[in-house]
Chain A
Amino acid sequence: MSQNSALNAAADAENTAVFTYGLLTAFTTGEVRRTVAQDIVDHRVRRDELNEILLADGQPERTPAAGYRLPIEVTDQGTAAQAAMAAEVDCEKAYRALLEQATDGAVRRTGVDGLTACALRSSYWRGIAGVSPRTVAFPGQ
């Protein structure tokens, strides 16, 4: 895997997360729903940052797929939290792979910032899903 293919994979994971959180809006309420809205914004910003790096390198940007299949059926706030966790874990794995494949420090900075943001959001969703502990030792592993 090269730096560009790792950037592609990370942008794809971010597009999947944007789609996932969009769906979760319908199954959440109150403060949790507000967090979903903020998470959508955060994932779009990260996705755009990754696409800008690809474009600057003469590569095409990654666009969302026509549709996505979620790993679990979302029926309520508990299953919504599990779907959010799955989306964050996929993004974490993509960012850790980007850290391992990156050939310049600026891209590595994008990787470590993206990985940290995912790890913090994952902790929130573990709390909503009732998973303990809320943190893991190696995000992205």
Chain B
Amino acid sequence: MAVAAGWSLTACDSGPSQRQLDAQALLPHAQAAFRQQTAAAQLAPRNTAYTEALGTVADQRGQHLTALRDEINRLHSSIAAQIETPAPTPTASVQALAGELEQSAKAAATSCLETSGFTAGLLGSISASCQTLAKVQLA
């Protein structure tokens, strides 16, 4: 009994590892990439003036999703299961999606400032990309 209590206390004290925290920090960016990839694909057939642009948004947010999922898997693979939950709710319009992309660009830039190394470079690049998707593709 005493041994079991001691083990439990040790496990509690150790808390989440740095790798787990780093993976957790990437999770909202991966969820946003998945949400916006899905939204762009859903909006494309209904907005013919933006069909090609929305296809590019879906493709490039899909590439962000893959890169973020790879990094989350490397850091702490069990967190990757949360990327596609909850199921995304429909985005109302192209303008709404552009607004969400700008928000994602700002969020990725903010996280970039708080990280380092490869992760900082990845988040900074995704932030810059989201700005171009909002301001160039969906302008």
Contact = CB atoms under 8 A, between A and B. Distances in A.
Which range holds the interface residue count of chain B?
Answer: 20 to 34
B124 A133 contact: no
Given A100-B118, A100-B120, A120-B135, A141 B113 contact: no
Contacts of B44: none
A123 B105 CA distance: 16
A134 B134 CA distance: 12
B113 A96 contact: no
Interface string B99-111: 0000001000100
B20 interface: no
Interface string B110-135: 00111011101110111111011101
A105 B127 CA distance: 16
Contacts, number: 92
| Secondary structure dominating the interface of B | helix
Contact of B129 (A95, A105, A109, A135): A135
Nearest to B133: A135
11 contacts: A92-B128, A96-B124, A99-B120, A102-B120, A112-B124, A134-B136, A135-B60, A135-B132, A138-B67, A138-B125, A139-B128
Interface of A: 92, 95-97, 99-100, 102-103, 105, 108-109, 111-112, 115-116, 118-120, 122-124, 133-141
